[in-house]
Amino acid sequence: MTDLQERFSGALHNTSRAWRQALDKRLKYLGLSQASWMTIAVAAKARGPLSQSELAERLGVEGATMVAMVDRLVKAGLVIREPSATDRRVKRVVLTAAGSRLYGQVREEAAAFRKELLAKMDPKKLLAATELLESLQDLIDAMP
């Protein structure tokens, strides 16, 4: 690996972690862990209800971890488990009205955070970085 590739890899990893941590600090007043608000956000952005295993895959966590997370969110009244219409072994995770309201708050805070932070960036550099990351994602998605 060249020095530039290693520098890029480190910068990508560190910036991603720092971004999540900074947003997590901003969302602390909602009383949610990062894992909780990320689970709610993924469920809210999905085109339809996701199974626990689909949520786990999208969040990059193990199935058992997701089961425990969904248990906590159910207990908090933010999601419910609904049986799948096609497979009775599968439970779909659906936001409740309270979960949807909370997601609205998360979305507003995240948008304000992005606006504040990215307003300090040169628009041309931001576009170039965005296009680079999208191309990198396409390469990763195309991997066997």
Residue 68 domain boundaries: 3-141
Give me the pLDDT at residue 1, please: 65
- Residues 122-142 as b or e (16 or more Cβ within 10 Å = b): eeeeeeeeeeeeeeeeeeeee
| pLDDT per residue as tens, the chain (144 positions) | 689 999 999 999 999 999 999 999 999 999 888 889 999 999 999 999 999 999 999 999 999 999 999 999 999 999 999 998 888 889 999 999 999 999 999 999 999 999 999 999 999 999 999 999 999 999 999 999
Give me the pLDDT at residue 32, please: 87
Residue 66's CB is within 10 A of a number of other CB atoms, namely 22
**CA 96 – CA 79 distance, rounded (Å):** 5
Give me the pLDDT at residue 26, please: 92
- Distances in Å between the Cα of 132 and the Cα atoms of 4, 64, 73, 119 are 15, 34, 35, 19
Give me the pLDDT at residue 142, please: 95
Domain harbouring 121, CATH code: 1.10.10.10
Give me the pLDDT at residue 139, please: 96
- Count of structural domains within the chain: 1
Total-model pTM: 0.82
50: three-class secondary structure by DSSP: strand
Give me the pLDDT at residue 34, please: 87
